[in-house]
Amino acid sequence: MSIKKILIANRGEIAVRIIETCRQLGIRTVAIYSDADRYCKAVSMADEAFHLGGVALADSYLNGEKIIQTALNCHADAIHPGYGFLAEQADFAQQVEQAGLIFIGAPAQAMRLMGSKSAAKKTMLTAEVPCVPGYQGDDQDPELLLKEATKIGFPVLIKAVSGGGGKGMKIVEQAADFAVQLSSAQREARNAFGDDQVILEKYITQPKHIEVQVFADAHGQVVHLFERDCSTQRRYQKIIEEAPATFLDDQYRQAIHDAAVQATQAIEYRGAGTIEFILDDDGQFYFMEMNTRLQVEHRVTEMITGVDLVAWQIAVAEGKPLPLTQSQIQCRGHALQVRVYAEDTVNDYLPSTGLIEHMQLASDEHGLVDSGVRAQDSVTIHYDPMIAKLVAWGKNRADCIERMQTMLNHSVVYGVTTNLAFLSAIINSKPFLNQQIYTNSLDNKAIDLAQTIPPAVLAIVAKNLIKNGASNSIWQQASGWRLQETEPLIITVVKPEHSQQHRVMVTDEGFLVDGQHHYQPSATDYCYQHRHYLQVIHNNQRYQLQLPNHDIQAMASDANTIYAPMPGKIIAIKVAAGEQVSQGDTLLIMEAMKMELAIKAERDGEIKSLSATVDKQIKADDILVELVP
Ligand code: ADP
Ligand code: ADP
Ligand code: MG
């Protein structure tokens, strides 16, 4: 049967992603939303949208009954669950079908089987797919578990049978710690999944996470769409994914693809799925688990194969055969995805909530941005803090990494703290470039990402601060930094790590930083400033700095002259000389580095002069507008 209308039982970027494909296929879309998401992007894009209830998940995105009733009321034919929430809940899939609707996902029986890490491993062992050595029995007697752990050999990993999202996992280094770690894993599992059963696995000390995208239709056809390397993780959660895994030779890759297809054939499967493998340091690969849904990282597979996986999901749900056979699926180039989280990476990855004051995520013809939020939306405590995914394609890995670096450098988010600088530092690091990142590298701090601020960056900051009126007398009163003709500019950086003070002198040769380094900012150095947040791009590396807040408020009161923040072109002028403007009003719009940048008034005033004209090419620091208070 052909699907004409789909209700999307999800939110955020995956809801937006599904709507995009539906639009191309001419399928109508229905969004659902909680109180917190009333004005979100997905709701504004969908053909219809229905309010489900409050922010509690049980009232909204996890309320299967309400969701099915909504789908019936608006005459949808099918429900797409996205990922997370109800995507892997077998009971929900069954209820959807009992209501006469199509569930765009895996069959309930496969979900049940693969949703249990013990049942999944038992099935795979029977199908002769290699599994991580361990214990997956039903007997959960602590004495017996300890005996099994000793048999496996320490270190051992305890995993929740019903676990997911990296929760409920504990490493045990030695027998003496086993009892304590076991009760801790059980407690976590009971709270998160309502089930305290565990399995035990040999802990692989240098693990690579390689997974294979598989697809099956209702006619017995199973194919793979190559592998993804998801070894860059924090706390067992992926943050950077790429395809293909170029450090593996073709024979090895083929063996993994074959094992994934074999695993899929061993269960009666339909739709998109992912077989996750773990690779140990002596070249063995083992089945870890199967995710019976679309994956957050599906975009990298789409980029190397040219396949729209959501369109395939819909086709398979309609009962159609897979659009391509195995030999027709080709792997072209390289793709990389980074997950942009609103979180404080130096503060234990604490989610950062609040208003996104400004957001510009850069993409070009070989890159894309998937995001469920826009500027002026809020990141709330209610949902996952992932705000976007940046995906880049290149003809090879090096080319792809370079593109991603550019995308990261040219992306700015202000208002909430993000991991953009952290992601940039990772993909610039030697272990990443040499493909020597293991899934525990970040947690073990095996990669040094502490960003020391090079003197050149401080010189760029100093130039920017002076340009913004640092010479005014107000500055001398502000405690954070000040400038006098003969005295250095004192810049206090309160972040990224801890508060540091630097002295910058303006000399004939440029800027003298901390009495020893001279630097003259060049045309490729950028400094974006938003209140007390600074972002500097220097040598294709990005640095995020934060100054003490009060300094910037002082500075805003002196912003009478507005300079071009970077080279570019004026594309629109919103004001005229003599006009009264208020703080925050957009004065003109410039285009720089393929992005539009609104230049705003930093204070109230009257436009004294306007030196910009539309289409004019401008250099960094050119005076654009002068205000009189
Ligand atoms: P993957 O292997 O694809 O990363 P995860 O199991 O980590 O899969 O989860 C997939 C995604 O689904 C998460 O990154 C998150 O965005 C979303 N998600 C999962 N569970 C929840 C939940 N309970 N609430 C909100 N979002 C969730
Ligand atoms: P989840 O359902 O939470 O995704 P997984 O079994 O897929 O659980 O494991 C998540 C991550 O934990 C893996 O990607 C890997 O980084 C790590 N991990 C899992 N099993 C092992 C193991 N046996 N040894 C070392 N690391 C492991
Ligand atoms: Mg997993």
Q: Summarize the confidence of residues 307-316 as an average pLDDT.
A: 98
Nearest residue to 464 via CA among 400, 580, 333, 555: 555
Q: What is the rounded CA–CA span in Å between residue 607 and residue 577? A: 5
In the chain, count of helices (H) and strands (E)?
17, 38
Give the number of whichever ligand sits closest to the CA of residue 386.
1
pLDDT score at 555: 45
pLDDT band at 559 (very low <50, low <70, confident <90, very high): low
Q: Which residue from 439, 442, 443, 444 has its CB within 8 A of the most atoms of ligand 2, so it is best to mutate?
A: 439
Give the number of whichever ligand sits closest to the CA of residue 115.
2
Q: What is the rounded CA–CA span in Å between residue 615 and residue 612? A: 9
Question: Alpha carbon of 557 to those of 204, 491, 548, 554: distances in Å?
Answer: 57, 19, 16, 5
Does the domain spanning 5-104 belong to CATH 3.40.50.20? yes
Exposed e or buried b per residue across 610-629, where buried means at least 16 C-beta atoms within 10 angstroms of its C-beta: bebeeeeebebeeebbbbee
Q: What is the rounded CA–CA span in Å between residue 330 and residue 321? A: 18
Supply the residues annotated as catalytic: 293
Q: Is the dihedral of CA 10, 15, 21, 22 positive or negative?
A: positive
Nearest residue to 388 via CA among 405, 403, 407, 365: 407
Domains 5-104 and 133-202 share a fold: no
> Beta partners for 561?
626
82 CA closest ligand 1 atom index: 12
CA of residue 374 to ligand 1 center, whole Å: 20
Give the number of whichever ligand sits closest to the CA of residue 297.
1
Q: Is 38 exposed, middle or buried (0-12, 13-18, 19+ CB in 10 A)?
A: exposed
Nearest residue to 417 via CA among 503, 309, 342, 307: 342
CA of residue 437 to ligand 2 center, whole Å: 15
Given a contact cutoff of 8 angstroms between Cβ atoms, the answer to whether 315 and 307 are in contact is no
Q: What is the rounded CA–CA span in Å between residue 544 and residue 529? A: 10
pLDDT band at 533 (very low <50, low <70, confident <90, very high): confident
Q: What is the pLDDT of residues 440-481, one digit of tens each?
A: 999 998 888 777 788 999 999 888 887 776 543 333 333 344
Q: Is the dihedral of CA 603, 605, 607, 608 positive or negative?
A: negative
Question: Alpha carbon of 591 to those of 101, 233, 564: distances in Å?
Answer: 47, 35, 11
CA of residue 320 to ligand 1 center, whole Å: 28
pLDDT score at 141: 97
Nearby residues for ligand 3 (ion, Cβ within 5 Å): 276
Q: Kindly report the average pLDDT of the chain as a whole number.
A: 90
Q: What is the pLDDT of residues 419-446, one digit of tens each?
A: 998 999 999 999 999 999 999 999 998 8
CA of residue 201 to ligand 3 center, whole Å: 14
H/E stretch holding 193 = helix 178-193
Residue 621 in this model has a pLDDT that exceeds 80: no
Q: Summarize the confidence of residues 327-351 as an average pLDDT.
A: 93
pLDDT band at 592 (very low <50, low <70, confident <90, very high): low
Q: What is the pLDDT of residues 213-248, one digit of tens each?
A: 999 999 999 999 999 999 999 999 999 999 999 999
CA of residue 116 to ligand 3 center, whole Å: 12
Residue 169 in this model has a pLDDT that exceeds 60: yes
Nearest residue to 338 via CA among 311, 300, 309, 308: 300
Q: What is the rounded CA–CA span in Å between residue 599 and residue 580? A: 16
Q: What is the rounded CA–CA span in Å between residue 452 and residue 494? A: 13
Q: Which residue from 338, 384, 386, 419 has its CB within 8 A of the most atoms of ligand 1, so it is best to mutate?
A: 384
Residue 357 — φ and ψ, nearest 5°?
-75, -35
Q: Which residue from 296, 343, 382, 439 has its CB within 8 A of the most atoms of ligand 1, so it is best to mutate?
A: 296
Q: What is the rounded CA–CA span in Å between residue 89 and residue 112? A: 8
DSSP-assigned states of every residue in 410-448: T-EEESS--SHHHHHHHHHSHHHHTT---TTTTTTT-S-
Task: Indicate the length of the chain as a whole number.
Answer: 629
Q: Summarize the confidence of residues 497-505 as an average pLDDT.
A: 78
- Residue ID of nearest Cα to ligand 2 atom 11: 236
Q: What is the rounded CA–CA span in Å between residue 147 and residue 143? A: 6
386 CA closest ligand 1 atom index: 16
Q: Summarize the confidence of residues 589-599 as an average pLDDT.
A: 68
Q: Summarize the confidence of residues 528-550 as an average pLDDT.
A: 79
Q: What is the pLDDT of residues 133-152, one digit of tens each?
A: 999 999 999 999 999 999 99
- Residue ID of nearest Cα to ligand 2 atom 20: 288
CA of residue 613 to ligand 3 center, whole Å: 54
Between the two ends of the chain, the Cα-to-Cα distance in Å is 67
Q: Summarize the confidence of residues 76-93 as an average pLDDT.
A: 97
Q: What is the pLDDT of residues 383-424, one digit of tens each?
A: 999 999 999 999 999 999 999 999 998 899 988 989 998 999
- Count the neighbouring beta carbons within 10 Å of the beta carbon of residue 114: 25
Given a contact cutoff of 8 angstroms between Cβ atoms, the answer to whether 31 and 14 are in contact is no
What is the 8-class DSSP label of residue 337?
E
CATH classification code of 561-628: 2.40.50.100
Q: What is the pLDDT of residues 13-65, one digit of tens each?
A: 999 999 999 999 999 999 999 999 999 999 999 999 999 999 999 999 999 99
What is the 8-class DSSP label of residue 616?
-
Q: Which residue from 278, 287, 438, 440 has its CB within 8 A of the most atoms of ligand 2, so it is best to mutate?
A: 278
CA of residue 277 to ligand 1 center, whole Å: 19
Q: Summarize the confidence of residues 325-352 as an average pLDDT.
A: 94
- Residue ID of nearest Cα to ligand 2 atom 12: 236
Helix axis angle, 117-126 to 108-115, nearest 10°: 100
Q: Which residue from 14, 62, 83, 117 has its CB within 8 A of the most atoms of ligand 1, so it is best to mutate?
A: 83
Give the number of whichever ligand sits closest to the CA of residue 14.
1
Given a contact cutoff of 8 angstroms between Cβ atoms, the answer to whether 619 and 567 are in contact is yes
pTM (predicted TM-score): 0.83
Question: Alpha carbon of 20 to those of 316, 478, 562, 595: distances in Å?
Answer: 18, 50, 39, 22
Q: What is the pLDDT of residues 186-195, one digit of tens each?
A: 999 998 899 9
Domain ranges of the chain: 5-104, 133-202, 455-546, 561-628
Nearest residue to 270 via CA among 6, 93, 10, 14: 93
> Beta partners for 228?
211
Pocket of ligand 2 (CB under 6 A): 132, 157, 159, 163-166, 201-204, 207, 209, 233, 236, 276, 278, 288-289, 439
Give the number of whichever ligand sits closest to the CA of residue 439.
2
83 CA closest ligand 1 atom index: 12
205 CA closest ligand 2 atom index: 25
List, in order, residues 6 or more apart from 587 with CB less than 8 Å away: 562, 573, 574, 575, 581, 599, 600, 601, 607, 624, 625
Residue 321 in this model has a pLDDT that exceeds 70: yes
Q: What is the rounded CA–CA span in Å between residue 76 and residue 65? A: 15
Nearest residue to 10 via CA among 314, 512, 41, 422: 41
Residue 544 in this model has a pLDDT that exceeds 70: yes
Count of alpha carbons within 13 angstroms of residue 505, beta-carbon side = 11
383 CA closest ligand 1 atom index: 25
| Tokens describing residue 253 | 């890759």
CA angle, corner 295, sides to 290 and 296, nearest 5? 140
Nearest residue to 535 via CA among 367, 446, 408: 408
Percent helix, strand and coil across the chain, each rounded to 5? 30, 30, 40
Count of alpha carbons within 13 angstroms of residue 254, beta-carbon side = 4
Greatest mean pLDDT among 135-144, 166-175, 582-591 lies in: 135-144
Given a contact cutoff of 8 angstroms between Cβ atoms, the answer to whether 238 and 297 are in contact is yes
CA of residue 296 to ligand 3 center, whole Å: 11
- Residue ID of nearest Cα to ligand 2 atom 13: 236
CATH classification code of 133-202: 3.30.1490.20
Pocket of ligand 1 (CB under 6 A): 83-85, 164-165, 237-238, 291, 295-296, 383-384, 386
CA of residue 87 to ligand 1 center, whole Å: 10
- Residue ID of nearest Cα to ligand 1 atom 12: 84
